[in-house]
C-alpha cells in the first residue's frame, strides 16, 4: 500500500503528517508520500496556492500506481480538487478527515461540493469529529448530502481538529471489500 498524505494548513500539522507517515508505512510493502505545503517552507501563508500545490503533488505521484490518499482539513480540499481537475489522477481508496467547512468561503464550499460529484462514493470515507470547531459533524453530513449522499461518513466523539486515528485509518485502508 502506498499512501499520499495531505495535512492541514498550519505548520503545526507537520506532527500529524509525520505521525501518519510512521503509522501507515508499517509493513514491508507499505510506504507513504508526505506532502508539505509551500508556505511551511517559506514561512509566509500567502504562498499557499491551490494550483501550485496540485502541480507539486502531481509531480510527486506521477508514475505511481495503486495509490491511497489520506487527507486532513485543507488537505481534503486540495485532494478533492486534485481529483476533480486532473483526470489522470486516481486513488484506489481515500480517507478525508476534518473537512474545514467553517474555514471556506461560500465560493470555495461550492467548488468543494462540486468536486465530490465526480468522486466514486465507493472509494471514499469521510471521518469527522462531532464537535470539530472547523466543521461540526452535522454540518459535514448536510454538506455531503448535498454533494454526494452516498459517501460514507463516520462520526468520532471529539471536540477538536486533531484526527490522530491512525490505527483506524490503517484498518479502513486494509479492510477487505473496503466500504
Is the distance from CB of 55 to CB of 61 less than 8 angstroms?
Answer: no
Give the pLDDT confidence score for residue 95 in this predicted structure.
98
Domains and CATH numbers, the chain: 2-174 (3.40.50.1820)
What's the pTM value of the predicted model, to 2 decimals? Answer: 0.95
pLDDT at residue number 175: 81
pLDDT score recorded for residue 179: 41
Task: Give the phi and the psi of residue 37 in degrees, each rounded to 5.
Answer: -70, 150
CA-CA distances (angstroms) from residue 9 to 18, 117, 178? 14, 24, 28
Q: Which of 145, 73, 136, 139 is nearest to 116 (CA)?
A: 145
How confident is the model at residue 123, as a pLDDT? 93
Q: Say how far apart CA 114 and CA 6 lie, in whole Å.
A: 20
Confidence category of residue 4, pLDDT binned at 50, 70, 90: very high
pLDDT digits (tens, 9 = 90+) for 64-119: 888 999 999 999 999 999 999 888 888 999 999 999 999 999 999 999 999 998 78
d(CA 49, CA 38): 8
The Cα 56–Cα 52 span in angstroms is 6
Extract the runs of DSSP E, i.e. beta strands, from the chain: 2-6, 31-34, 67-72, 93-97, 124-129, 152-156
Spatial separation of the C-alpha atoms in residues 133 and 57, rounded to whole Å: 28
d(CA 75, CA 136): 17
At residue 47, the pLDDT reads 96
Tens digits of residue pLDDT in 17-72: 999 999 998 876 789 999 999 999 999 999 999 999 999 999 999 988 889 999 99
Amino acid at each position: 500500500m502506498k499512501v499520499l498524505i495531505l495535512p492541514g494548513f498550519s505548520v503545526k500539522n507537520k506532527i500529524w503528517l509525520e505521525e501518519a507517515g510512521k503509522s501507515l508505512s508499517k509493513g514491508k510493502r507499505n510506504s507513504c508520500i508526505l506532502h508539505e505545503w509551500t508556505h511551511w517552507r517559506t514561512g509566509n501563508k500567502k504562498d499557499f496556492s491551490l494550483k501550485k500545490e496540485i502541480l507539486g503533488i502531481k509531480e510527486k505521484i506521477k508514475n505511481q500506481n495503486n495509490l491511497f490518499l489520506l487527507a486532513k482539513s485543507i488537505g481534503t480540499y486540495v485532494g478533492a480538487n486534485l481529483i476533480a481537475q486532473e483526470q489522470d489522477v486516481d486513488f484506489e481508496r481515500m480517507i478525508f478527515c476534518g473537512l474545514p467547512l467553517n474555514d471556506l468561503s461560500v465560493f470555495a464550499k461550492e467548488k468543494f461540493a462540486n468536486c465530490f460529484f465526480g468522486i466514486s462514493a465507493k472509494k471514499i470515507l469521510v471521518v469527522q469529529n462531532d464537535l470539530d470547531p472547523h466543521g461540526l459533524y452535522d454540518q459535514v453530513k448536510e454538506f455531503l448530502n448535498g454533494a454526494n449522499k452516498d459517501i460514507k461518513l463516520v462520526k468520532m466523539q471529539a471536540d477538536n481538529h486533531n484526527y490522530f486515528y491512525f490505527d483506524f485509518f490503517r484498518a479502513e485502508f486494509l479492510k477487505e471489500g473496503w466500504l
